Amino acid sequence: MVLSLLPVTGIAQSEKSQPNTEGGNKIVKLYPNPATTTINFEIQQHNNDRLYDLIVYNFLGKKIDQLKGIGPRTTVSLDNYYNGLYIFQLRDQRGNLIESGKFNVVK
């Protein structure tokens, strides 16, 4: 039996966020991943006067959570999250996509 893995395509990114491809500079550091009870998001290149929105989607694309006006460090409680893969988007206050990524919840 031969098993073949196909690459999974990510969320389309706006032209302004192109540098954040594999091997590029990541703005968001998240840990632990996989997570069980909480997950921490740190914005690496944060301006003190700039606020961001963090939007979380389940793997089917349904919006699960949205945190508005977050600062350089944010902890998200996973009490209302189920096991599975989630996708996050970091957007600026004008709605421009800054970075997207994924994390796994294991309970």
Per residue of the chain (107 residues), what is the pLDDT tens digit?
A: 444 444 444 433 333 344 444 456 788 999 999 999 999 999 987 566 788 999 999 999 999 999 999 989 999 999 999 999 999 999 998 999 999 999 999 99
DSSP states of 14-52:
-GGGTT-STTS--SEEEESSSBSSEEEEEETT--TT--E
Task: Tell me what pLDDT residue 16 has.
Answer: 39
Task: Tell me what pLDDT residue 95 has.
Answer: 94
Which uninterrupted H or E stretch holds 1? none
Token pair 């740190």 is at which residue? 42
0.85 exceeded by pTM: no
All structural domains of the chain, each given as residue ranges with its CATH number in brackets, are 28-105 (2.60.40.1930)
Task: Tell me what pLDDT residue 98 has.
Answer: 94
Task: Tell me what pLDDT residue 22 has.
Answer: 47
Who's near 88: CB < 8 A, 6+ residues apart?
Answer: 28, 30, 41, 54, 55, 56, 57, 100, 101, 102, 103
Task: Tell me what pLDDT residue 46 has.
Answer: 59
Q: Is 98:88 a contact under the CB 8 Å cutoff? A: no
How do strand 52-58 and strand 84-92 relate by DSSP bridges? antiparallel
Task: Tell me what pLDDT residue 50 has.
Answer: 82
Question: What are the backbone angles phi and psi of residue 32, rounded to the nearest 5°?
Answer: -75, 155
